[in-house]
Structure 1
């Protein structure tokens, strides 16, 4: 016998459906570029590279001016992001290979953002560059909370935008490419570059969203541009075409980098449009950022585009240009368009932030704070007592930021490290004027902060032996 609904019953059903929809936690899309500088986007002052979609994203949401990557290079930056622990506590604090195919993996006991969100019923995926352990290790993303993975598992593999294969859930997917100098895989008959990995990542991400948008989802889209294509040497970044820069009187590596950034920008615009079409944009938090500062590899000159903007330094530096990165977010249901935030924040904050928006408990052992107040403009934003960084290559370095003050110390792998440098970022954003001699008491306070910010790690220690070991890792291009 068919059911007959009275107006009162229909009204109740509609209210129940609305309440259920309102209770559904937001989707989360975290997009990270590779080696994109603070000044490489139009919304951060770039004049020569077109990034209209990311500029629109910043205008439609909130743009942060003082956001920091986890590290100045790839692997530790990603570890900080995934675990919520800064470099003084992270288990991966440098680019360290443990085999021909894997960097140092996350340990089995590591709790990642993906695992926290999976516990709240999220579908989870990593598309792009992982770099925290391959399929033979405990760090394999499918063992670290991700339902689905596609892309590069290791950094060295990600040095080529036209690889012979990518990995889907740990299995090789062969492409129509041949890497010069590499041993033929025996799969396919490719003799030239046909399948551009950057395009494949976006296609895979969009297809995954199509299949999973009916429930809460977390997509970590870790793009490998504009990192240099190290397989191509001084040819720089290889792309399908140079787009609007084809006829520019620029060196080839600069054309390639600009084209890669603009192509990425267009692809992200398409993904944002997809969320609108699927009707999930209002309840989706989308974040865009970079894993560290701009590189100087593959013939690319970061000064050509002023890729660090007003900041000093590039990738592998602990000056601002090596670690401060662009970051913007849109969440139409929560973020006011045209918002700006000068909250001092970092990658360690995303664990607490995503747990907060998902209604989950963040791990107790975390160095991050929820950025929801800064994203939404509502509530009191908790502040960091400090931000700490360390780096074991190039003689060993460490730095700390406390309010406007920034301390940098070089030569940490020598018997006598260099004197601590001190900068007031409110007055000297470019870190040109070392005022340590004028403020010995602040130098002493920040030195104590650096000393106390780290826990011991057998794999990462300062000293001459550490520098010699770092030299054997082969960090170039990571």
Structure 2
């Protein structure tokens, strides 16, 4: 009997030790910071995705991200054009506090604090591909001097509008693409041409593979569906893409075939990225963000209304109406973000820095405008922003709850909209609510004061 009792006691102790070890392992795994992938399209509209109402352009893989994650319907870009929007994303400050508020030349000074530099200090491997608009070659603003272990793509913003460039950059090394060199009329060799988006995707996947055993952040700042403002050379229009794919036989203008094909190509690569994460057993360890840098463009002969690219919103790129700044945001994190959910939480690009910091288990800087939306992602209650602010040249806009104030020029009157009842900003009610307009004007002044 004593032998039996001792054996039972030993087994109980072993089981208890095993349970305790498993509990500690689970706690360790729960505390392990996730990989972060932030995918940003260029000039993709609020209405260009199936999960946001698009009925013609096919985006099955991005729609699947939304089905398995959370869709934000009140998310805003940092700006209505490229460079300042990216600056807001990286610094966590809106354009009332950033050095620029339009597409003027700017590059980061030495020692700038960005979401990338902060996560690098926290032990993350940091990588990026695509368009970099915040530091030309041999400046302090190049990605390798701003927290990126690896960068592949464009450094100059203007070059990023050519999808068959003669070279790209791997950190600070120029990578020649000889097949893309052009003669007086056309590229030298069709067989050797390289579509830059495909190369960016390849390098993004390589970064994931090389850093699969440690926490990483990958920022894929893709360049499609931006127009080639010099006119497309691949398809004879301003929407440059190797082939039209399933849209080739549609009775559409060439630019619209190109626009749709670019988005579907991007969608294809998002599907391949998720597949890669599954193969590497990283899917549950990785949170994916998908968004756009501003509203849809009307360039390269593409027309915003052709596919209803801005959905129910008024305006498009370069406007401070909703169509120029409200963008899709989808976040997928299996086991953490409830699948198939939608939130109307009001958020913006400047919230990504504190969100990423909270995911990494570090404190963000105090001098930022952003607020982490991780509580929303985890299904927890969250206090919304008091205000969101944008400025672009002589234009300003401010959102405060349901109210949106817009001034389209320095000498133009303020417009006021109730976004709860008028998402399309069709009914200017400024004259009916002078007290609200006065409050909004004051908040605009306060949004541009010292942080």
Whether these two folds match at TM > 0.5 is: yes
CA-to-aligned-CA distance 1:310-359 (integer Å, 9 cap, x gap):
00000000000000000000000210101111001000000110101110
How far apart are the structure 1 equivalents of 2:208 and 2:184? 34
Distance of 1:328 and 1:182 partners within structure 2 = 43
Instruction: Describe the SS at the equivalent of 2:431.
Output: helix
Instruction: Report the equivalent of 2:440.
Output: 446
Work out the CA distance in 2 between the residues paired with 1:271 and 1:191: 27
* Aligned length in residues: 435
Which residue is equivalent to 1:286? Answer: 288
SS at match of 1:448: helix
Shift of 1:109: 3.5
Q: Work out which of the residue numbers 343, 346, 363 in structure 2 matches 1:361.
A: 363
Task: Tell me the alpha carbon deviations over residues 27-48 of structure 1, each in whole angstroms, 9 at most, x when there is no partner.
Answer: 1000000000000000000011
Change (3 A) 1:93 1:193: farther
- SS of the equivalent of 1:303 reads helix
Whether 1:136 aligns to 2:138 is: yes
Q: Tell me which residue corresponds to 2:10.
A: none
Which residue of 46, 51, 54 corresponds with 1:46? 54
Q: CA RMSD in A?
A: 2.2
Matched residue, 2:71: 63
User: Secondary structure of 2:75's match?
Assistant: strand
Alignment deviations for residues 276-315 of structure 1 (CA, whole Å, 9 cap, x no partner):
1111111211000000001111111011000000000000
What's the counterpart of residue 473 of structure 1?
A: none
Q: Which residue of 2 aligns with 1:350?
A: 352
In 1, the alpha carbon distance for the partners of 2:67 and 2:184 equals 44
Q: Residues 69 and 346 of structure 1 are in contact (CA less than 8 Å); yes or no, is this contact kept in structure 2?
A: yes
Cα 1:137–1:180 change in 2 (3 A) is: same
Describe the shift of the 1:64–1:182 C-alpha distance in structure 2 as closer, same or farther (beyond 3 A). Answer: farther
4+ runs deviating over 3 angstroms: 6-22, 176-184, 188-193
* SS class of match (1:232): coil
- The Cα shift of 1:177 comes to 3.5
Q: CA deviation at 1:364?
A: 0.4
The residue that corresponds to 1:382 in the other structure is 383
Tell me the distance in 2 between the aligned counterparts of 1:181 and 1:340: 50
- 1:213 Cα deviation from its structure 2 partner: 1.2
* 1:408 to 2:406 alignment: yes
The answer to whether the 8 A contact 1:178-1:192 is kept is: no
Q: Is the 8 A contact 1:122 1:217 kept in 2?
A: yes
d(CA) in 2 for partners of 1:274, 1:427: 42
Contact preservation (8 Å) 2:352, 2:370: yes
Contact 1:236–1:257 (CA<8 Å) still a contact in 2? no
Q: Which runs of 5+ in 2 are unaligned?
A: 1-12
Aligned-partner Cα distance in 2 for 1:424–1:446 = 13
CA contact (8 A) 2:182 2:188 kept: no
Please list, as runs of the form range in 1=range in 2, the aligned pairs for 1:141-152 lying within 5 A after superposition. Answer: 141-152=143-154
Alpha carbons of structure 1 residues 20 and 376: separation in structure 2 relative to 1, 3 Å: closer
Are 2:111 and 2:146, in contact at CA under 8 Å, matched by a contact in 1? no
Q: What SS class does the counterpart of residue 437 from structure 1 fall into? A: coil
Report how far residue 19 of structure 1 moved.
4.4
- In the alignment, does 2:137 pair up with 1:125? no
In the other structure, the counterpart of 1:82 is: 90
1:399 is matched with which residue: 397, 400, 414?
Answer: 397
TM-score (norm 2): 0.92
Query: In the alignment, is residue 301 of structure 1 matched against residue 303 of structure 2?
Result: yes
Residues 301 and 183 of structure 1, relative CA distance in 2, 3 Å threshold? closer
Shift of 1:16: 5.6
Distance of 1:167 and 1:183 partners within structure 2: 26
Q: Which runs of 5+ in 1 are unaligned?
A: 1-5, 98-103, 458-478
Structure with larger Rg: 2
